[in-house]
């Protein structure tokens, strides 16, 4: 392998830049050429390439988002689109690529490999932590810190006015952000898709909390939660059935995807980038780099895109105990 391409694809997340930097610098260290592709698979099809050397990635380790931009690309879902991408890579002399993204981006990489026997390695970048084969995805830790910081602020105003807040957080179909940030921010209840608490139990819990003398309450609601009501409907429901509360809603939204990556995400991204390039140079392919028990591991992409992450039951128990 003489030339490796790196790009970001799908939703952006903090730590992607640190991963790009790591891939580029590892290539420089190993004396392999490196080229960046802008706008994911769309840029691949259009030949939007830029040669990278160690100095091309100065001052990006601390930046959120992705300097290479990200894009969704419908063309790449077709055989014709992938043929165009292959032709562009060949023209540029690229022998392998590292894709930083989520499930969809990995599925595209796998198809591309099947059709052209092209070596590919994935690095999981998403704040949702919803990828099988790694305990942490890039951006998850940063998002948790962002959410906790914001909830601390909401708590200040909630306790000054004896209010109940429903705070909606991201996470797609999983509750990792909600559960971890909920415990970290001391939430009263945490509603996650993996365990439907039910409206009755929610009311009971809020009643108990009020009776125990708490001046305010914060309920974290994962966006994929299955209680059957969104945060605004939950507010109405509680106001109707439990008029002892003054209820407010806060939907945190896209701010959760931004910001400077945490130290944890920077370190993880640096480690994953090295592992990705080394794996390609060892002749490996179709693998995703992940971390488990603080060790880097490789999982077949075919498994990573099919598997489901599990919620930490022990952490759910901790959360229950904390709201005594």
Cα Dmax for the chain:
70
Beta bridge partners of 168: 221, 251
Q: Which is nearer to ligand ATP, 75 or 239 (CB)?
A: 75
Which one of 48, 128, 130, 265 is the catalytic residue?
128
Determine, following the binding rule CB under 6 A, whether residue 256 of this chain makes contact with ligand ATP.
no
Determine, following the binding rule CB under 6 A, whether residue 16 of this chain makes contact with ligand ATP.
no
Cβ–Cβ under 8 Å, residues 290 and 124: yes
Q: How far is the CB of 109 from ligand ATP (least distance, A)?
A: 8
Select the residue interacting with ligand ATP from 4, 6, 10, 37 (CB under 6 A): 10
Q: Select from 48-56, 68-76, 183-191, 252-260 the region that touches ligand ATP (CB under 6 A).
A: 68-76
Q: How far is the CB of 40 from ligand ATP (least distance, A)?
A: 6
317 sits in which H/E element: helix 313-322
Q: How far is the CB of 124 from ligand ATP (least distance, A)?
A: 9
Select the residue interacting with ligand ATP from 41, 97, 118, 140 (CB under 6 A): 41
Determine, following the binding rule CB under 6 A, whether residue 105 of this chain makes contact with ligand ATP.
yes
**Sheet architecture: strand order including 49-52:** 49-52, 33-37, 3-8, 96-101, 120-124, 287-292, 295-300
Cβ–Cβ under 8 Å, residues 221 and 168: yes
Cβ–Cβ under 8 Å, residues 302 and 110: yes
**130 annotated active-site:** no
Candidates 141, 139, 138; CA nearest to 122 is: 138
- Residues binding ligand ATP (CB under 6 A): 9-11, 41, 72-73, 76-77, 101-105, 107-108, 111, 126
């Amino acid at each position: 392998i003489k030339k490796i391409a790196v790009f970001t694809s799908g939703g952006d997340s903090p730590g992607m830049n640190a991963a790009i930097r790591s891939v580029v610098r590892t290539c420089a260290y190993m004396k392999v050429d490196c080229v960046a592709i802008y706008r994911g698979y769309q840029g691949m099809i259009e030949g939007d390439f830029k040669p990278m050397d160690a100095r091309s990635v100065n001052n990006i380790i601390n930046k959120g988002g992705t300097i290479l931009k990200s894009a969704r690309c419908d063309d790449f879902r077709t055989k014709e689109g992938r043929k165009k991408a292959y032709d562009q890579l060949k023209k540029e002399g690229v022998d392998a690529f590292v894709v930083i993204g989520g499930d969809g981006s990995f599925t595209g990489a796998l198809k591309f490999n099947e059709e052209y026997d092209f070596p590919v390695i994935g690095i999981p970048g998403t704040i949702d932590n919803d990828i099988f084969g790694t305990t942490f995805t890039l951006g998850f830790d940063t998002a948790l810190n962002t959410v906790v910081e914001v909830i601390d602020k909401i708590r200040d105003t909630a306790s000054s006015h004896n209010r109940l807040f429903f705070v909606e957080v991201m996470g797609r179909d999983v509750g990792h952000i909600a559960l971890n940030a909920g415990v970290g921010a001391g939430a009263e209840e945490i509603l996650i898709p993996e365990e439907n608490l039910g409206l009755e139990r929610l009311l009971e819990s809020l009643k108990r909390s009020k009776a125990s003398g708490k001046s305010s309450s914060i309920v974290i609601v994962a966006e994929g939660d299955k209680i059957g009501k969104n945060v605004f409907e939950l507010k109405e429901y509680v106001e109707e059935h439990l008029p002892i509360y003054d209820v407010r809603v806060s939907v945190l939204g896209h701010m959760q995807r931004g910001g400077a990556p945490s130290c944890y995400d920077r370190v993880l991204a640096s480690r994953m980038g090295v592992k990705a390039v080394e794996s390609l140079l060892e002749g490996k392919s179709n693998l995703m780099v992940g971390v488990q028990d603080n060790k880097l591991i490789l999982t077949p992409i075919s498994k990573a895109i099919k598997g489901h992450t599990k919620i930490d039951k022990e952490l759910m128990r901790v959360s229950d105990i904390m709201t005594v």
